[in-house]
Every structure is written in C-alpha cells, then in structure tokens.
C-alpha cells in the first residue's frame, strides 16, 4: 500500500442511481467528497469498457488529489486510465475476478489492491497472497444495488469474519446510517456505501451525516 | 504484427455452443485446428474474468505453437494469461471497448491487435491509429450467436467496406460454407466462424470443409 488508506467512508458509485437522482457520477462524487467521503470506487457492471473509462476519467477530474480513486474489477480499464494520464490509485477486485497475485503483477507494487472476501477461505487466501491492501466484506444487509448479490451475512457473522484477518477491512452491502457505529465497534476500518449516497437527494449532506455517525463512536 | 498472420480460417469460440454440442471449448478448438483453423479467438461474453482466464489457459494447452491465440475484449485477461506464462498472441477488441492506441500501450508492440470495424468511420480511425494489425468486419449475415448484434451488412456493402482499407481484414457474422468463396473474391484475408464450427457435430470435418471452400477459390 503506497500510503495509509483512510477507508472510513468508502463510496462505491452506481451510475443508474446517480442518474435517477438527476446527477452524473462525477457530480455525485464531487458532492460526496465535500461531505467527507475518503475513498471512491467507480463500479460499472453493465457499461462497455469505453464508457467505463470515460466515467473513471470524469471522476478523476473532480476528485481532490488526496482521495484515492479505485476501479472495480476491470484491471484493463484501470491500466488504460493510468496510461491516459488519469490519477487512478488502484483496483478493487471481486471474488470471481482475476486472482490477486496476477492482478498485483499487472498493476505493480505501488497501486492499491482491494479484494472482496465473504468467507473464511477467501479471506485466508487473500491474506496468504501477501499482495492485498484491504478487503471488502459483505453483504452486511440485503441489498438491491447488486444483482445476484449473495444473501446478507448480518453483523454478528461479519464481525466474526473481520476478526479473522489483520488486513484493513471495510463492510459493504446495504450499509446505512444506523450501521456505522456497530461496524466501527466491530473493528472495521470503514464502511462502503452505495445507495445511501448515490440515491440521496443531497449527497454532500448524506456523506456528512454518515461520517458524523462513524466519528461519533467512542 | 509480429509475423504474417494467416487469417484464412479464424475460429471465434462460443462456450454455450461447444457445451451444447457435448464438448469443452478446448476440445472443440483442438479438433478445429486439426481441420485447418489458422487463428483462434477465445470469446466469453458472460463469464467471470476468472473463468475466462481458465478457458484461455485450457485452449492454450491444446493449441499448436504456430496457431495464434487471441483474447476477446478483456485486455486484463490477456495480460493475466501472459503473466501466468500461457502462450497468448494478442487481443481482439470490439467497437465499444478500450481505444486501440491505449490497448496497444498496454499489450506492447509485439502482441497482435485486431479490432472490429463496421463503418467507414471506425475503419478510418483504426487505420489512422497505426497500431492495428487487422480488422474484423461484420456481421455479414444475420447471426444469433451474439446478442444485440447489429443488423447484417450483407456481402456487397461488406465488400465495399473492405476496399476502404489496406489492413488485413476478416469477415464475421453467420459465416458459412457458401460464404467462403465470395468473401475471398471480395478481397478478404479470411473468414471468422463461430457456430459453423462450435455447433458442428464434427468440428474437425467442419473446419476442413470450410478450409477447402476457402482454398478452392481461383
């Protein structure tokens, strides 16, 4: 990991939700960062690589330099964005995507590499690989954002999973305001949100409220 | 282009069709190459990157060294296969995928880069980029292999498109036995087939018959 990542409020973008709320992905991100988002992952499940790259470029343009921009799953889109001169920090790789050691070879030692791990086995594999900077765990709650999402794990099991690794970890999956304190209490380094920000009428205020909940933990 | 490519009988794989015919993709490829296929492009529209990589690896294992293995669209899967030591030759990139100059940067000068071009504009762009080794043009006929495929172009228009470029060109889209001679007469360097081989009860015989039709042109 190039620098300590502040994973506390981790935004995963959803273009349908942003557009339905009357904003572009980049506009949503810009507001959310003003509200306190600390990491942005651009995720596009249905877009062509060309459109995905365009969205990454548009987000890169509005993002302050200290906020890491991660690309979901498509390592080639990340590499293309980097080759085109956009300040992208790394990738987040799902469980059925390319194996972490190969991804690390492709992106190099300095890029951020996050992976999804929802079972003790995948977590052990991620940790043993020695190439992963953080893990995403979920889904915490039932989510409608991601099609074919696995069933919700729930907080007690997710907390048990979190205790199995020393890697930085963020929870994901239907995460809302009420989850922030319990997640922090469970030892998570951050919470990843999608609809709580992308669907919000005011993404800046939504991010600020989520951040305040996170920080209110003592 | 690292070496003169023999594009004459260009197989694009379709795993559903191979499996429906009772064979793996690799088994189909092995038989088709015995029958005379000269290039193999592994295409997976729905597979995860991990499964796509596994299919590429399985095909690489059965492919003779002189037959180039190309990966469809996913430049990261190609790069991962290469990093894992599989003998992959390059990529074929669709029209809504990453721009050719960026792809060339990612794969390097020695890899094969083919792109799809169905309009004079996209063809001119491909040619002007100076980084493309060959173009795929189509669909020649109506095809059910590819969902949301654009309407068939037909031979006269495809032949006119082919005359617009000095780049090597293959035709694709519902290509069958009866198309081989007309395509060669129209100046194509090869014909790309999917179902004519993947759905065949005997892929070796199907490839040999297609090859014979191609070669019978005088």
What DSSP letter does each residue of A142-168 carry, written as one string? --SSSTTPPPP--HHHHHHHHTT--S-
Question: Does residue A113 lie within any of the structural domains?
Answer: yes
- Residue A5 to residue A7: CA distance in whole angstroms: 6
What local confidence, expressed as pLDDT, does residue A146 receive? 67
- Answer yes or no: do B83 and A102 touch at CB < 8 A: yes
For A154: left if phi > 0, alpha if psi spans -120 to 50, otherwise beta; the answer is left
pLDDT score at B176: 95
CA torsion sign for B70, B74, B76, B81 is negative
| Long-range contacts at A16-22 (CB < 8 A, ≥ 24 apart) | A17/A145, A17/A194, A17/A195, A17/A198, A17/A199, A18/A198, A20/A199, A21/A198, A21/A199, A21/A200, A21/A201, A21/A203
Question: What domain range includes position A163?
Answer: 9-215
In the residue annotation, A211 being an active-site residue is answered as: no
Is-catalytic flag, A116?
A: yes
Q: Tell me how close the Cα of B20 comes to any Cα of chain A, in angstroms.
A: 24
Rounded-to-integer distance, Cα A36 and Cα A200, Å: 15
Of B73, B80, B98, the CB nearest to A106: B80
Whether pLDDT at B205 is above 60: yes
> Would B147 be classed as within a structural domain?
yes
pLDDT tens digits for range B111-155: 999 999 999 999 999 999 999 999 999 999 987 766 677 889 999
Interface contact B110, partner A, CB < 8 A: no
* Closest by Cβ to B80, choosing from A74, A96, A98: A98
Q: Is residue A29 part of a domain?
A: yes
Contact A77 B96 (CB under 8 A): no
Q: Is the pLDDT reported for residue B218 higher than 70?
A: no
Asked whether the predicted pLDDT for residue B2 surpasses 50, the reply is no
Neighbours of B4 (CB within 10 A): 7
Tell me which residues of chain A, numbers 76 to 95, contact chain B at a CB-CB cutoff of 8 Å.
76-77, 79-80, 83-84, 94
In a domain, A210, yes or no: yes
**% pLDDT > 70, chain B:** 96
Distance CA A170, CA B142 (A): 48
Is A201 part of a structural domain of the chain? Answer: yes
DSSP B104-125: HHHH-TTSEEEEE--SHHHHHH
Q: Do B83 and A97 touch (CB under 8 A)?
A: no
Closest CA to B28 of B197, B174, B211, B173: B197
Has residue B211 got a pLDDT over 80?
yes
pLDDT at B4 over 90: no
A91 in helix, strand or coil? strand
* pLDDT of chain A, 218 residues: tens digit per residue: 445 799 999 999 999 999 999 999 999 999 999 999 999 999 998 999 999 999 999 999 999 999 999 999 999 999 999 999 999 999 999 988 999 999 999 999 999 999 999 999 999 999 999 999 999 999 999 877 666 778 899 999 999 999 999 999 999 999 999 999 999 999 999 999 999 999 999 999 999 999 999 998 66
Question: What is the total count of domains within chain B?
Answer: 1
Task: Summarize chain B as % helix, strand, coil (round to 5).
Answer: 40, 15, 45
Q: What angle is formed at CA B68 by the lines to CA B75 and CA A72, rounded to 5 degrees?
A: 10
Would you say residue A56 lies in a domain? yes
Residue B3 lies in a domain: no
Residue B95, in any domain of the structure: yes
Which pLDDT band holds residue B14 (cuts at 50, 70, 90)?
A: very high
CATH code at B122?
3.20.20.70
Q: Cβ B48–A103 below 8 Å, yes or no?
A: no
Inter-residue contact A7 to A39 (CB < 8 Å): yes
Contact A197, A207 (CB under 8 A): yes
């Amino acid at each position: 990991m190039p620098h300590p990542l502040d994973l506390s409020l981790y935004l995963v973008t959803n273009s349908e939700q942003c557009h339905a709320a009357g904003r572009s992905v980049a506009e949503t991100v810009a507001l959310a960062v003003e509200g306190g988002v600390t990491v942005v992952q651009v995720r596009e499940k249905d877009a062509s690589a060309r459109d995905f790259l365009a969205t990454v470029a548009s987000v890169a343009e509005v993002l302050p330099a200290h906020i890491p921009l991660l690309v979901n799953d498509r390592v080639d889109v990340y590499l293309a964005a980097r080759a085109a001169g956009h300040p992208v920090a790394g990738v987040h790789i799902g469980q059925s995507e390319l194996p972490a050691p190969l991804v690390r070879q492709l992106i190099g030692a300095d890029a951020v590499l996050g992976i999804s791990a929802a079972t003790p086995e995948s977590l052990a594999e991620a940790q043993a690989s020695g190439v992963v900077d953080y893990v995403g765990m979920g889904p915490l709650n039932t989510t409608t954002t991601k099609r074919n999402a696995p069933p919700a794990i729930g907080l007690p099991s997710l907390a048990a999973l979190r205790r199995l690794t020393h890697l930085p970890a963020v929870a994901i999956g239907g995460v809302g305001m009420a989850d922030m304190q319990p997640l922090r209490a469970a030892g998570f380094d951050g919470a990843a949100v999608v609809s709580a920000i992308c669907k919000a009428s005011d993404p800046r205020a939504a991010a600020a409220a989520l951040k305040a909940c996170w920080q209110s933990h003592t």
